[in-house]
Structure 1
């Protein structure tokens, strides 16, 4: 139902705000007998809950893997009945945008909470974690890592769509704006997926084999027709046996007959094989991605035959 991205400097108090205030406030509203909405549960995802050590932020590769772990778990938990709270540094605006796109793909609401604290406050809290016997030292950052993360932090902005709506909570604020956050995740605008955020439709698992077999059958049919008719190219009719049970054809394909316009000469096997390889290579990316720049690809035999016929007509020289 919603993704709440929590961001801020290390040791700014993000997890305390989430666990002691935000979760309790949201859960109280969900449990209220007067609430009849779809939200049924709250899931918090953080470095601690995912067993991500603070030391990963000293290594670019390890940090990238850690972000991937968080993102994968966010995607797994997002649905229409859950509020997912991403409680982490989330200091890279590109990563916040990635999470926003994943939420928009599922047409669920988003909100960003910026827990603001000065660098000096964060460093003081980190030092307390290191020196205090009552705290777990694994929750502290090495001083150089902390300095580096603060320096690299990219502050959220209400002016960009992936950080909006943005709720800024100062370390001096006594409480969070829980009523406004609740309205954002239950009544806020739901932005539909667009071309940049919607999932590309996947090609069938047999798309590549259909591509190969259909093009090969057409090459054989063209050679057989040339040999049987003795004609020197021109417009020829091909009768090709389809393996599809009842797929309607369109365009040039009339039943099982396909018209191909060849140059006025005999086309050789080597030419056809070369063009078949080029045709298949040009479509492999579409097989992998599931779509082309202009839209979805139709992987039926009839559609592949039609596209290969056009490809031959455009690439066979006179």
Structure 2
């Protein structure tokens, strides 16, 4: 019998190749968690299918981005209820998994990641044999296979990580244990009062991240290719260092990451946070946070 820790909602993020069996595994997990978890915790699956998002949105980035935004919004909305939320989607971008993780922390949820593993050849076969109308175009499937960013137990947003090969059973008991007794970050709001951000925090967040994007583009134009450690001038005498990949970064890529960063932190500014060390919204602190986000999400 699993012993329950402090009452907490939870987020389970599925990840894996397209047509690798994620939806089957997510349905299995929901069925088993319904039997394992205490009665006060209900389990809900949020998926592309449940939101009427067709596989064709992954054909190009212009349609994929709003679809991913709709998924994120749906997950956030359910986080406000007494539920275990299972996110059944490719979730192949580590930056998106990080975004889900940050949202879960703000809501004081326990988290875990389930990595459903199948070979590319099996995924191709299973994709072609689907009869539910949710077949990926061959070109789209191949593109997603190449772009997939594998979850890692070494990074906090993918941990704890449960890797489930297609030949093995789903470890539902261990997942339930993690959801009931794992660490909750940030600390429970019953023990620490939420600290509100200063009135100019949103302005500082937007202005500082925008200035850093401009400084990176200027530094890149001046130095050419090469990457490595770069010192960026900000306002006054303030400077910040960031390690850039060994390729030219595009303005659109940096602006996309900047928008994600601002979105992630807006909620903490608006609602307050109990996370120690995360209530400093001064320019230098925001710049440091943005550097960490960039270094974790920029591809080499």
- Structure 1 partner of 2:183: 189
Q: Counterpart of 1:96 in 2: which secondary structure?
A: helix
Closer, same or farther: CA 126–199 of 1 in aligned 2, 3 Å: farther
Distance 1:116 1:187 in 2: 26
Does the C-alpha gap of structure 1 residues 52 and 294 become closer, same or farther in structure 2, counting only changes over 3 Å?
Answer: same
Distance in structure 2 (CA, Å) of the matches to 1:294 and 1:172? 49
Partner of 1:298: none
- Residue pairs, 1:36-185, within 5 angstroms: 39-79=40-80, 81-129=82-130, 135-137=131-133, 139-173=134-168, 175-185=169-179
Deviations 1:19-69 (A, max 9, x none): 1x2011110123xxxx47xx4211110000001011111121110000100
Structure 1, unaligned stretches of length 5 or more? 130-134, 205-288, 296-318
| Candidates 2, 6, 23, aligned match of 1:15 | 23
Return 5+ residue gaps in structure 2 as ranges: 1-8, 188-193, 201-268, 271-280, 286-300
Aligned counterpart, 2:237: none
What TM-score does the superposition give when structure 2 sets the normalisation length? 0.61
Larger RCO (alpha carbons 8 Å, 6+ apart): 2
Q: What SS does the aligned partner of 1:167 have?
A: strand
1:80–1:108 Cα contact (<8 Å) kept? no
In structure 2, the residue matched to 1:311 is: none
- Whether the 8 Å contact between 1:117 and 1:171 is mirrored in structure 2 is yes
User: Would you say the 8 A contact 1:43–1:85 is kept in 2?
Assistant: yes
Partner Cα separation in structure 2 for residue 159 and residue 54 of structure 1: 30
2:129 is paired with a residue whose SS is helix
Q: What is residue 24 of structure 1 aligned with on the other side? A: 31
The answer on 1:5 being equivalent to 2:5 is no
Equivalent of residue 283 in structure 2, options 274, 293, 311:
293
- CA 1:127–1:294: 2 relative to 1, 3 Å: closer
The 3 A distance-change label for structure 1 pair 200 and 150 is: farther
**Structure 1 residues 11 and 200, CA gap change in structure 2 (3 angstroms):** farther
Give the 3-state SS of the residue equivalent to 1:181 in structure 2: helix
CA RMSD of aligned residues (A): 2.5
CA distance in 2, matches of 1:166, 1:71: 20
